[in-house]
Amino acid sequence: MENKILLSMPMFKEDDKYSIKALTEDLQNHWNLMVSDVEGDDKVATMKVNNQMVAISLMQAAIPSEDIESTAKYSYLWNNVAAECREHTSHAIISVFPGESGILEQYKIYTMLNASLLRTSKAIGVYKGIQTLLLPRGLYIDFADFLLQEGMYPVQLWVYVGLVSDEEKNSAYTYGMKEFGKSEMEIIDSELNLNELFEFLPSIISYVIGYDVTLKNNETIGFTEEQKIQITESKGAFLEGNTLKLAL
């Protein structure tokens, strides 16, 4: 698929901000990335990270409250998200431009860049509105470090996993698979609890994205020879348009 510019917005309180010098040093020392062609300052800067063009700018204004509040409603991974985000007074804009290495490498560099900025500043978290994601500082750093260092994809930082519970059964859905050229997925009225759904769906996301798999209507998927999860394409229950239903 054609790569897109990846955008994120780390948020700061009061006079906090990032340091380009500290950021580039962390990219080199923590992630062992090649950083070159650094131009600009702590207000606006560009650089190449593993030959991928990156831009960072500081915005002396908060992200519009209506954007934060509409996303905060879905942000179960961040306790007191609305109250904490309401206190931010400025934000950075991180842009990672398409490169020759493909979208997965672009997302990995994007994740390392956000994690390094969080680690070397007092930013409270990251806003990524396209995928309805508001992610707190500690969780973002931990997910990026653990998963990327283990050679896995931190898809929880890339794709929103929605969880829905009623009195008897639970459901889950993805939001952000289209960024990778893939269909959104839903699990409807499952006997699994919400924790089990949250653990299972990212494994499917990682498989589809990592191996560039296209799931199709009336096929099955499974992680063992015995496991055969039926796939059905139909109108989305929680999302607009058609989605792939996993019978789990």
Is residue 20 domain-resident?
yes
Q: Is 54 left (phi over 0), alpha (psi -120 to 50) or beta?
A: beta
The residue segments making up the domain with residue 172 are 160-246
Q: What is the pLDDT of residues 16-67, one digit of tens each?
A: 999 999 999 999 999 999 999 999 999 999 999 999 999 999 999 999 999 9
Mark whether 45 and 114 lie in a shared domain: yes
Evaluate if residue 150 carries a pLDDT over 90: no
Nearest to 95 by CA among 59, 140, 136, 134: 59
Mark whether 49 and 148 lie in a shared domain: yes
Last residue of a domain, one of 104, 136, 157: 157
Q: 15 exposed, middle or buried (CB, 10 Å; 0-12, 13-18, 19+)?
A: exposed
Bridge partners (DSSP) of residue 6 are 96
Q: What is the pLDDT of residues 232-242, one digit of tens each?
A: 999 999 999 99
Mark whether 13 and 95 lie in a shared domain: yes
Nearest to 82 by CA among 130, 128, 136: 136
Please state whether beta strands 242-246 and 185-190 pair in parallel, antiparallel, or not at all (unpaired): parallel
Last residue of a domain, one of 157, 192, 218: 157
Number of domains, the chain = 2
Please state whether beta strands 133-136 and 6-13 pair in parallel, antiparallel, or not at all (unpaired): unpaired
Last residue of a domain, one of 124, 157, 190: 157
Q: What is the pLDDT of residues 91-133, one digit of tens each?
A: 999 999 998 888 999 999 999 999 999 999 999 999 998 888 9
Mark whether 105 and 206 lie in a shared domain: no
Which pLDDT value is given to residue 2?
59
Mark whether 30 and 124 lie in a shared domain: yes
DSSP states of 41-80 as a string?
-SSEEEEEETTEEEEEEEESSPPPHHHHHHHHTT-TTSTT
Which pLDDT value is given to residue 203?
93
Whether 105 contacts 113, CB under 8 Å: no
Please state whether beta strands 44-49 and 52-59 pair in parallel, antiparallel, or not at all (unpaired): antiparallel
Mark whether 169 and 149 lie in a shared domain: no
Q: What is the pLDDT of residues 206-220, one digit of tens each?
A: 999 999 999 999 999
